[in-house]
Chains A and B, each alone.
Chain A
Amino acid sequence: MNSAAFTVIAIFTVAAALAAATLRQLMHAALSFAIAFVGVAALFFLLGAEFVGLALVFIYIGAVAVLIVFTILLTRRDVGKVRGFNWGGAIVAVAVFGGLTWSILKTQSLAIVAPHMSALTVKRIGAALMTTYVWPLQCVGLLLTAALIGALILVLEEKP
Chain B
Amino acid sequence: MSKSIDQVFVSAKQWLLSSLAGSSTWVIQVVSSLINIFALLAVFLTLFALISVLERKILARMQNRYGPNRVGPCGLFQPIADGIKMLIKEDIVPARADKIVHFLAPVLIAAVAILTLSVIPYGRNMTPFTIDGGVLFFFAVGSTTELAVFMAGWGSNNKFSMLGAMRAIAQMISYELPLIITVLPVVMVVGSLAPDQIVAAQADYTFGLVPRWFVFTPWGATAFILFFVSGLVESNRTPFDVPEGESEIVAGHMTEYSGFKYATFFMAEYIGMFAISGLGITLFLGGWHAPARALEFIPSYVWFFAKLSALLFVYVWIRGTLPRTRVDQMMNFAWKFMLPMAFTCIVAAAVWHYAGRGLRGWLWSLFVIALVYTALSLLLDTKRRFAPRVYRFAE
A47 at the binding interface (Cβ < 8 Å): no
Chain A residues with Cβ below 8 Å from B193 are: 122
Chain A residues with Cβ below 8 Å from B146 are: 62, 66
Chain A residues with Cβ below 8 Å from B173 are: 66
Interface residue count for A (Cβ, 8 Å)? 25
Complex: A122 Cα to B193 Cα, angstroms: 8
Cβ A73 vs Cβ B144 within 8 A:
no
Complex: A81 Cα to B322 Cα, angstroms: 44
Complex: A31 Cα to B390 Cα, angstroms: 39
Complex: A121 Cα to B143 Cα, angstroms: 22
Cβ B140 vs Cβ A121 within 8 A:
no
Cβ A50 vs Cβ B26 within 8 A:
no
Cβ A51 vs Cβ B136 within 8 A:
yes
Binds B, one of A9-17, A52-60, A97-105, A110-118: A52-60
Complex: A146 Cα to B100 Cα, angstroms: 40
Cβ A54 vs Cβ B137 within 8 A:
yes
Q: Which of A66, A123, A160 has a CB less than 8 Å from the CB of B191?
A: A123
Known: A58-B139, A122-B136. A27 touches B101 (CB 8 A): yes
**Dominant SS among interface residues on chain A:** helix
B132 at the binding interface (Cβ < 8 Å): yes
**Which residue of chain A has its CB nearest to the CB of B162?**
A73
Cβ B150 vs Cβ A69 within 8 A:
yes
B141 at the binding interface (Cβ < 8 Å): yes
Known: A31-B101, A73-B154. A54 touches B136 (CB 8 A): yes
Q: Which residues B125-181 have CB closer than 8 A to chain A?
A: 131-133, 136-137, 139-141, 143-144, 146-147, 150-151, 154, 169, 173
Complex: A27 Cα to B105 Cα, angstroms: 14
A46 at the binding interface (Cβ < 8 Å): no
Chain B residues with Cβ below 8 Å from A1 are: 26
Cβ B150 vs Cβ A66 within 8 A:
yes
Cβ A62 vs Cβ B192 within 8 A:
no
A65 at the binding interface (Cβ < 8 Å): yes
Complex: A102 Cα to B150 Cα, angstroms: 39
Complex: A26 Cα to B147 Cα, angstroms: 15
B65 at the binding interface (Cβ < 8 Å): no
Cβ B133 vs Cβ A51 within 8 A:
yes
Chain A residues with Cβ below 8 Å from B137 are: 54
Interface residue count for B (Cβ, 8 Å)? 26
Complex: A157 Cα to B392 Cα, angstroms: 10
Cβ B131 vs Cβ A50 within 8 A:
yes
Q: Which residues B161-210 have CB closer than 8 A to chain A?
A: 169, 173, 191-193
Closest Cβ–Cβ distance, residue A1 to chain B (whole Å) = 6
Interface string of A34-70 (1 = CB under 8 A from B): 1000000000000000110011011001110110011
Complex: A25 Cα to B143 Cα, angstroms: 24
Chain A residues with Cβ below 8 Å from B151 are: 31
Interface string of B84-127 (1 = CB under 8 A from A): 00000000000000101100000000000000000000000000
Known: A31-B101, A73-B154. A55 touches B140 (CB 8 A): yes
A28 at the binding interface (Cβ < 8 Å): yes
**Which residue of chain A has its CB nearest to the CB of B142?**
A62
Complex: A108 Cα to B30 Cα, angstroms: 40
Chain A residues with Cβ below 8 Å from B132 are: 50-51, 121-122
Chain B residues with Cβ below 8 Å from A157 are: 392
Cβ B143 vs Cβ A27 within 8 A:
no
Chain B residues with Cβ below 8 Å from A63 are: 143
B positions within 8 Å CB-CB of A:
26, 98, 100-101, 131-133, 136-137, 139-141, 143-144, 146-147, 150-151, 154, 169, 173, 191-193, 390, 392
Besides A50-B133, A61-B143, A73-B154, 16 new A-B residue pairs in contact (Cβ under 8 A), listed by A number? A27-B101, A31-B147, A31-B151, A51-B136, A54-B136, A54-B137, A55-B136, A57-B141, A57-B144, A58-B136, A58-B139, A58-B143, A61-B147, A62-B147, A66-B146, A69-B147
Sample of 5 A–B contacts (CB below 8 Å):
A1-B26, A62-B143, A65-B147, A69-B150, A123-B192
